[in-house]
């Protein structure tokens, strides 16, 4: 059976500064916090597309000290390519943070940013597809909440959303970047409703750029 193995944490932080760059809009923070607070005790949180770990990942870990996080990413984006999306927290004081000026890899900065929570975080490096959901589920992972924030194309997003619905039917599935800037996510959410993966009553807004699906447990 194919399995995923977590990337080991280093014995000490990397010799690059923390780079708390993220794209988490302030208006989404409290709605996201509400979702995390509502999870059951000792929740498992799975995140596809953690990047530097400075946005939703840190928020969830800081909010719940009983939360375990599984974070998946290829960590191949560079500071140069990330700069075009104008991240928040890109400066440390007057200067650009280390990641934005090419010091250290995305994975190294993610590990530094999440260092204080490393006993509750597993990092899985590699490409993610709908098959990744199957592999995790076959390993016995049953999350209470899943955040989809990696491949925003319709071809990547839609199959992954379907697999989450099928393999993790009781989890809250948060879809990030549900905006006109990312039409693949918008199209995927519409098709999930059209195909009956979820009902309109199971879809709700999480701030201005996120939506979440939560199945009605009375519905089979």
Average pLDDT over residues 173-177: 96
Is there a domain that residue 6 lies in? no
Q: What are phi and psi of 45, to 5 degrees?
A: -120, 120
Q: What is the pLDDT of residues 74-109, one digit of tens each?
A: 999 888 887 777 777 777 666 678 888 888 999 999
Alpha-carbon gap, residue 175 to 198, rounded angstroms: 13
Is there a domain that residue 197 lies in? yes
Average pLDDT over residues 169-183: 95
Is there a domain that residue 208 lies in? yes
- For the chain, what percent of residues have pLDDT higher than 90? 76
Q: How confident is the model at residue 23 (pLDDT cuts 50, 70, 90)?
A: confident
The pTM score is: 0.93
Where in the sequence is the domain holding 173, given as residue range(s)?
26-213
Cβ-based burial of 130 (10 A; exposed 0-12, middle 13-18, buried ≥19): middle
Q: Which of 56, 152, 73 is nearest to 107 (CA)?
A: 73
Average pLDDT, the chain: 91
Q: Is the pLDDT of residue 114 over 80?
A: yes
Q: Is the pLDDT of residue 121 over 70?
A: yes
Alpha-carbon gap, residue 200 to 164, rounded angstroms: 17
Q: Is the pLDDT of residue 41 over 90?
A: yes
CATH number (domain holding residue 187): 3.40.50.150
Is there a domain that residue 185 lies in? yes
């Amino acid at each position: 059976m194919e399995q995923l193995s977590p990337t080991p944490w280093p014995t000490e932080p990397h010799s690059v500064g923390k780079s708390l760059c993220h794209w988490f809009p302030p208006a989404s923070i409290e709605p996201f916090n509400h979702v995390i607070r509502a999870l059951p005790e000792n929740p498992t949180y799975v995140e596809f597309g953690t990047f530097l770990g400075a946005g939703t990942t840190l928020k969830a870990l800081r909010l719940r000290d009983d939360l375990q996080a599984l974070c998946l990413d290829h960590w191949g984006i560079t500071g140069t390519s990330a700069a075009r999306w104008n991240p928040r927290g890109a400066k440390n004081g007057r200067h650009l943070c280390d990641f934005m000026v090419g010091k250290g890899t995305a994975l190294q900065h993610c590990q530094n940013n999440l260092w204080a929570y490393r006993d509750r975080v597993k990092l899985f490096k590699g490409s993610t597809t709908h098959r990744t959901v199957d592999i995790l589920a076959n390993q016995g992972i049953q999350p209470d909440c899943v955040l989809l924030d990696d491949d925003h194309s319709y071809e990547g997003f839609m199959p992954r959303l379907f697999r989450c619905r099928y393999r993790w039917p009781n989890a809250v599935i948060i879809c990030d970047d549900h905006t006109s800037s990312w039409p693949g996510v918008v199209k995927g959410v519409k098709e999930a409703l059209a195909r009956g993966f979820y009902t309109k009553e199971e879809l709700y807004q999480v701030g201005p750029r996120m939506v979440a699906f939560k199945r009605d447990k009375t519905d089979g």
